[in-house]
């Protein structure tokens, strides 16, 4: 093993990320989840950008130091891995450093510092195969090296011989003598050879000046040298700089010093990744250095992005060159191909071998099948389009209609009526244009017919059925490949330095490639659209994502003190497994245990905070944010003629307000000091009239003051080693709450300014409710606020509400333990228990239950009572068992009762959310009728049942079925109104469909499959050659102008005889013959069901497919008359609210 950690050039080794040397094609889409998330245009640019951004470090939170004398936080900045990352990290270049090393070659102290690296390379010669180890041949050819190396090899050989002896003893005189001679020789090599000026200069000129040589960082003692950086230390001494190498401990998220050399006030701080790379480190309060480092990182990431883009494009091209080779080889050996064609394909294969860059690069048979199936699918769609276009029908114009149109247009003056003639002439023009296109369309049809047959032949010869994911990947690949070819051809066609002939030919290639790109790209879009509307596919994709998320989190081995989140997960799983077995004992439906730790829809009801706010909120940004909260609250407090102050950007807001001086207002805030003026607030009565709720002046004034206190509580100006990350995360959570209130106000009709005011005031009032709490309390309260705010009700999907419902239930489970506070405890202990016990439980079960947010790695203060129960009532096993099985927990003379959690409980929760959706004032997650209907529209089986029930309902049948029922209300002045409601069984069905509940008998699943099997299937088309047609003559240009009025005595005008309509004999409906598999789902986009009328056609997705959503019917019954009425959805009614609602209730 090589002891030295070297920086290996990223641009030389990163190809492994794309599997360039793999024998298989590059995978742009590897899972169902990739299909749902990928954007085809511009795919390569997006992928390159995403891959490069993963190397960025500046957006990450500041990192704390594990050393007591280096307490200030630091930030990391990525340095480009082109072989010079060390030099970039210390803000210099290799060339400048080589020059300085050479200029100080006569300094023995500099040579002594650097000698360790030369010694390590001397010893490494012949011991490793790493090209970075050892000295160059020019140095090894010199006599002094040869003499010393021979002596060294003799010692090493003697040592190995002794160690291989069956009587070997470490403390034997012979072996100890060898070790002594070895140490003496090593010291001699160091002093006589490594520290010599000639050797030093040779090493700098021949090794360090070479950009392929990486800078060395020793991390162990395998070769007998200390942990140091040799020539880096020498350079620091030359420059008079203190050089510090930091190592990032990801488990504790602390920076630890790996190497330090103190030498002057100038600081060089770098971070070594523990493998092969240096990054720049900057103290958090060095604003100038941070700005420069951020700019440098941005530049390096742009270079990296360009490299990734080039690599992706090159890899796709390599894959297609390999595919061509395999295609030519397959066709040259196919019995359905004539011998003449076989010979041609064999010659093409020989020629193609030269274009395949690596002989080992051979595309797999499975990848070939995916490409051929992609071609069959795309060519099938194109043939159908061409067939429809060739057989296009036009409106028939009779001779009588034509005659009358000409007569009407020929009438004199204002009596002339030209509209019929213009319509006929428009039809004639369309027919003429279509007739001219027919030869081209027929030729294109014949060409694609051959392509389709060839692709089918190749696919069938492999006898492999590719998966949906593989076909989608091949479609995307092919589209991108032709897109790249089109760009190259376009560049040539626009190059004025090329000849006209070359540019014209390039333009033809461009048009051909761009058509292919469009064909395969649109086929991929149709596949993507189909899959995104498929419930089972979406569940599978989200499962993959959840599994990957859990695996990545457990691998991090996050810790809260000595408590390992991964160990806690493993402990909880023993309880989950036993519970799972008990659930299945009676062959009844049960909750899916896998969804406890890997819920596919976890967090779908709440915006991902790291995606929405990828970077930290800096101290300056945090100050601005809290001042905005203060300004909006102050807007309600100031007299109207003083509000102009708030428009001044440089207005400094005091953190405290003015107290009253008389007895009535004593200890109350009555005013504020701004710009040297003391401004008194209006009376309670006036301020109360400014809000619909009549908010009191004292509440608003207290809220204003607390915003300043909140700023200080989450400030990092004085660095807190234990809670820094928690403070940064809390800032982002508060920002997300403000933004959410603001967006919802805009959705309700407020303009941007009013919405911003509402968002800030509502947020400030909620945050103020816990104004007396410490940082632990703030974090706990943010959980409560987010639980109330993000309920999934603002989403179209039922999955979001189910996720929110389960999250709220788990939050309530944690909160139950607040009641177990010791009745003998004082006020401080009481508050600390209630603040921290639920948070502590959440951390212990963080990856065992579907928790949102990020795990905590520290508390400000964790009471002894909680810590003492870590293996008691708060042990992982007790907590998990209590949640799953339900039990009474007794502690401190108090008790709580926790119900059992199972499949029935999950149905209860969703059903309760549905009932909550009908309440005027909703508490917690609420499931709307629209959201349930949106799910039904995506499930063909349930859709058919719902449509049948709706049809009967419209006919006055208000009965009850397995999933649906009707309710009636007596509305004064209107009569009895019947509404459709969903039954508990429907929510059970939905939870089964989404995977939350498992039915061992799978009754509903079988019914759904039977329904699917009974549906009429699209008959595959058998493509046939079109019947021949005569070449049409060039049609005369249609006359559009109005004819001149006839003169008296003239003969009647003769009608214009237009070209006849050319009819093409329709051919048999085409069908694609292909292996059994998912092809039928991929051939076309979402189709209208042929067995349904227009009235009952519904959307698989509301927005993406632009069809009507199913709407529940309501009937109004008055006397004996029944009228049918469709209602608008609650969502549409909300959207209709305008800005007249200027005053909105603040909750």
- 371-418 per-position pLDDT tens digit: 999 999 999 999 999 999 999 988 888 999 999 988 888 888 888 888
At residue 131, the 3 state secondary structure works out as coil
| pLDDT tens profile 687-698 | 888 887 788 888
- Identify the burial level of 641 via C-beta atoms within 10 angstroms of its C-beta, where 0-12 means exposed, 13-18 middle and 19 or more buried: exposed
CA 1064/CA 1005 separation, integer angstroms: 47
Buried b vs exposed e over 694-708: b needs ≥16 C-beta within 10 Å?
ebebeebbbbbbbbb
In this structure, which long-range contacts are made by residues 1092-1098, counting pairs with CB atoms below 8 Å and at least 24 apart in sequence? 1092/947, 1096/947, 1096/951, 1098/937, 1098/943, 1098/947
The per-type count for the chain, helices as H runs and strands as E runs, is 39, 21
The pLDDT tens digits of the residues spanning 132-178 come to: 667 889 999 999 999 999 999 999 999 999 999 888 898 899 999 99
Residue pair 1113/946 in contact by the 8 Å Cβ criterion:
no
Residues 6+ apart with CB under 8 A from 1017: 1080
- Which of 395, 421, 416, 392 shows the shortest CA–CA distance to 1038? 421
| pLDDT band, very low/low/confident/very high, at 640 (cuts 50, 70, 90) | confident
Instruction: Please tell me whether the overall predicted TM-score, pTM, comes out greater than 0.95 for this model.
Output: no
- Rounded to an integer, the average pLDDT of 757-767 is 90
Report residue 91's pLDDT band, with 50, 70 and 90 as the boundaries.
Answer: very high
CB atoms within 10 A of CB 140: 13
- Strand pairing partners for 658? 671
Which of the four pLDDT bands, split at 50, 70 and 90, describes residue 353? Answer: confident
Cα–Cα distance for residue pair 843/866, rounded to 1 Å = 13
Tokens for 525, please give them: 């879009």
Burial of 301-340, coded b for 16+ CB within 10 Å and e otherwise, reads beebbebbbebbbbbbbbbbbbbbbbbbbbbbeeeebeee
The answer, yes or no, to whether residue 87 has pLDDT greater than 90, is yes
Q: Band the pLDDT of 1075: cuts 50, 70, 90.
A: very low
The 8-class DSSP code of residue 82 comes to S
Q: Which residues of 850-881 are buried (b: 16+ CB within 10 A; e: fewer)?
A: bbbbbebbbbbebbebbeebbeebbebebbbb
Residue 201: what pLDDT? 95
Comparing C-alpha atoms, which of 299, 95, 121, 307 is closest to residue 205? 95
For 101-123, write each residue's pLDDT tens digit.
Answer: 999 999 999 999 999 889 988 98
Nearest in space to 633 (alpha carbons), one of 805, 782, 762? 762
What pLDDT digit, counting tens, does each position of 546-562 carry? 898 899 889 888 888 88
* 94 has pLDDT over 90: yes
Burial of 727 (0-12, 13-18, 19+ CB in 10 A): buried
Instruction: Please state, as a whole number, how many other Cβ atoms lie within 10 Å of the Cβ of residue 1120.
Output: 5
pLDDT grade for 69, boundaries at 50, 70 and 90: low
* Residue 469, token pair as written in the block: 């994911």
* Mean pLDDT, range 845-852, rounded to an integer: 92
Q: Is 1065 helix (H, G, I), strand (E, B) or coil?
A: coil
DSSP state string for 260-305? EE--SSEEEEEEE-SSS-EEEEEETT-HHHHHHHHHHHHHHHHHHH
Contact between 1104 and 532 under an 8 Å Cβ cutoff? The reply is: yes
Q: List the one residue out of 900, 904, 903, 878 whose CA is nearest residue 891.
A: 878
pLDDT at 1141: 31
- Yes or no: say if 375 and 451 are a contact pair by the CB < 8 Å rule: yes
Q: What angle do CA 733, 687, 754 make, to 5 degrees?
A: 45
Residues whose CB is less than 8 angstroms from the CB of residue 561 and which lie 6 or more positions away in sequence, other chains included? 858
Question: Which of 674-683, 875-884, 1089-1098 is predicted with the least confidence, judged by mean pLDDT?
Answer: 1089-1098
Strand partners, 931: none
pLDDT at 663: 45
**Distance (Å) of CA 1044 to CA 140, 163, 416, 780, 1039:** 103, 117, 10, 87, 13
What are the φ and ψ backbone dihedral angles of 1022, each rounded to 5 degrees?
-100, 110
Q: CA nearest 121: which of 26, 20, 216, 260?
A: 216
Q: Contact at 8 Å (CB) between 801 and 924?
A: no
Residue 1107 is predicted with a pLDDT of 31
């Amino acid at each position: 093993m090589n002891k030295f950690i070297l920086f290996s050039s990223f641009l030389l080794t990163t190809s492994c990320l794309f599997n360039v040397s793999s024998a298989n094609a590059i995978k742009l889409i590897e899972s169902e989840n990739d299909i749902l998330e990928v954007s085809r245009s511009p795919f390569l640019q997006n992928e390159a950008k995403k891959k490069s951004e993963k190397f960025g470090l500046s957006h990450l939170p500041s990192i704390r130091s594990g050393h007591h004398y280096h307490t200030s936080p630091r930030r990391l900045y990525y340095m480009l891995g082109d072989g010079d990352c060390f030099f970039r990290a210390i803000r210099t270049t290799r060339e400048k450093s080589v020059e300085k090393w050479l200029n100080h070659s006569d300094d023995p102290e500099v040579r002594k510092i650097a000698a360790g690296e030369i010694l390590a390379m001397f010893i490494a010669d012949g011991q490793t195969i790493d090209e970075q180890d050892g000295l160059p041949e020019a140095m090894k050819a010199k006599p002094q090296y040869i003499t010393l190396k021979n002596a060294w090899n003799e010692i090493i050989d003697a040592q190995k011989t002794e160690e291989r002896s069956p009587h070997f003893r470490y403390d034997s005189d012979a072996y100890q003598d060898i070790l002594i001679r070895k140490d003496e020789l090593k010291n001699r090599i160091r002093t006589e050879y490594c520290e010599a000026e000639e050797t030093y200069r040779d090493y700098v000129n021949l090794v360090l000046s070479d950009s392929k040589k990486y800078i060395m960082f020793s991390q162990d003692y395998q070769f007998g040298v200390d942990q140091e950086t040799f020539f880096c230390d020498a350079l620091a001494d030359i420059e008079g700089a203190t050089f510090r190498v930091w190592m990032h401990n990801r488990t504790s998220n602390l920076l630890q010093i790996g190497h330090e050399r103190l030498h002057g006030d100038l600081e060089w701080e770098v971070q070594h990744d523990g493998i092969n790379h240096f990054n720049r480190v900057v103290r958090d309060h060095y604003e100038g250095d941070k700005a420069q480092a951020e700019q440098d990182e941005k530049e390096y990431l742009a270079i990296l992005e360009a490299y990734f883009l080039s690599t992706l494009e090159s890899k796709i091209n390599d894959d297609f060159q390999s595919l061509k080779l395999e295609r030519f080889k397959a066709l040259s050996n196919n019995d359905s191909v004539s011998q003449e064609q076989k010979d041609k394909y064999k010659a093409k294969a020989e020629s193609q071998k030269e274009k395949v860059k690596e002989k080992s690069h051979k595309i797999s048979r499975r990848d070939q099948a995916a490409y051929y199936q992609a071609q069959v699918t795309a060519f099938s769609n194109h043939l159908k389009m061409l067939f429809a276009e060739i057989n296009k029908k036009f409106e028939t114009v009779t001779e009588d209609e034509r005659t009358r149109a000409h007569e009407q247009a020929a009438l004199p003056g204002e009596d002339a009526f030209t509209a019929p003639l213009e319509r006929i002439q428009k039809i004639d023009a369309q027919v003429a244009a279509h007739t001219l296109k027919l030869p081209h369309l027929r030729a294109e049809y014949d060409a694609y017919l051959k392509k389709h047959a060839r692709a089918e032949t190749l696919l069938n010869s492999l006898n492999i059925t590719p998966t949906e994911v593989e076909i989608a990947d091949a479609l995307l690949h092919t589209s991108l490949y032709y897109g790249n070819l089109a760009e190259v051809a376009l560049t040539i066609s626009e190059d004025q330095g090329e000849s006209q002939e070359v540019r014209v030919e390039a333009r033809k290639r461009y048009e051909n490639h761009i058509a292919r790109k469009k064909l395969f790209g649109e086929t991929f879009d149709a596949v993507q659209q189909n899959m995104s509307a498929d419930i089972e596919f979406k569940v599978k994709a989200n499962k993959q994502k959840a599994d990957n998320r859990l695996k990545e989190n457990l691998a991090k081995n996050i810790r809260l003190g000595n408590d390992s989140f991964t160990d806690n997960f493993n402990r909880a799983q023993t309880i989950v497994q036993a519970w799972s077995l008990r659930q299945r004992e009676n062959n009844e439906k049960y909750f899916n245990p896998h969804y406890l730790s890997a819920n596919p829809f976890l967090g779908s009801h709440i915006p991902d905070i790291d995606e929405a706010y990828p970077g930290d909120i800096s101290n300056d940004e945090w100050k601005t944010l809290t001042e905005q909260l203060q300004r909006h609250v102050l807007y309600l407090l100031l007299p109207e003629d003083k509000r102009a102050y708030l428009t001044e950007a440089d207005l400094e807001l005091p953190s405290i307000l003015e107290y009253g001086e008389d007895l009535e207002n004593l200890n109350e805030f009555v005013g504020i000091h701004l710009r040297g003026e003391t401004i008194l607030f209006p009376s309670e009565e006036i301020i109360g009239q400014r809000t619909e709720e009549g908010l009191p002046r004292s509440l608003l004034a207290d809220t204003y003051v607390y915003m300043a206190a909140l700023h200080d509580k989450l400030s990092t100006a004085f660095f807190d080693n234990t809670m820094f990350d928690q403070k940064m995360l809390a800032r982002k959570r508060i920002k997300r709450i403000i933004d959410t209130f603001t967006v919802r106000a805009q959705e309700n009709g407020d303009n941007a300014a009013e919405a911003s005011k509402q968002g800030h005031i509502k947020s400030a009032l909620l945050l103020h409710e816990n104004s007396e709490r410490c940082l632990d309390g703030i974090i706990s309260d943010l959980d409560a606020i987010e639980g109330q705010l993000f309920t999934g009700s603002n989403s179209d999907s039922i999955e979001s509400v189910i996720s929110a419902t389960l999250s709220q239930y788990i939050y309530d489970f944690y909160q139950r333990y607040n009641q177990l506070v010791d009745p003998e405890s004082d006020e401080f202990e009481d508050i600390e228990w209630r603040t921290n016990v639920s948070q502590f439980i959440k951390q212990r079960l963080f990856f065992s239950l579907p928790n949102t947010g990020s795990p905590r790695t520290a508390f400000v203060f964790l009471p002894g009572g909680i810590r003492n129960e870590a293996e008691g009532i708060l042990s992982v096993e007790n907590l998990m068992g209590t949640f799953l099985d339900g039990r009474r927990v007794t502690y401190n003379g108090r008790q709580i009762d926790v119900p059992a959690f199972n499949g029935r409980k999950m149905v209860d929760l969703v059903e309760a959310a549905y009932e909550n959706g009908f309440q005027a004032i909703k508490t917690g997650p609420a499931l709307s009728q629209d959201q349930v209907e949106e799910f039904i529209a995506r499930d063909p089986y349930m859709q058919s049942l719902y449509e049948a029930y709706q049809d009967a309902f419209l006919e006055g049948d208000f009965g009850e079925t397995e999933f649906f029922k009707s309710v009636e209300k007596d509305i004064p002045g209107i009569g009895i109104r019947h509404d459709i409601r969903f039954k508990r069984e429907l929510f059970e069905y939905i939870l089964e469909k989404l995977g939350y509940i498992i039915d061992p008998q799978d009754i509903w699943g079988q019914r759904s499959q039977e329904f699917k099997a009974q549906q009429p299937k699209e008959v595959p088309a058998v493509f046939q050659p079109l019947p021949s047609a005569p070449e049409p003559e060039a049609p005369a240009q249609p006359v559009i102008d109005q004819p001149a009025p006839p003169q008296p005595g003239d003969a009647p005008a003769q009608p214009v005889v237009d070209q006849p309509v050319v009819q093409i004999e329709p051919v048999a409906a085409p069908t694609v013959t292909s292996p059994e598999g998912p092809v039928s789902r991929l051939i076309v986009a979402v189709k209208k069901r042929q067995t349904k009328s227009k009235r009952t056609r519904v959307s698989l997705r509301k927005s993406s497919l632009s069809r009507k959503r199913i709407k529940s019917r309501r009937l109004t019954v008055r006397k004996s008359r029944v009228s049918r009425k469709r209602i608008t959805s609650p969502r549409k009614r909300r959207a209709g609210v305008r800005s007249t609602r200027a005053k909105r209730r603040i909750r």
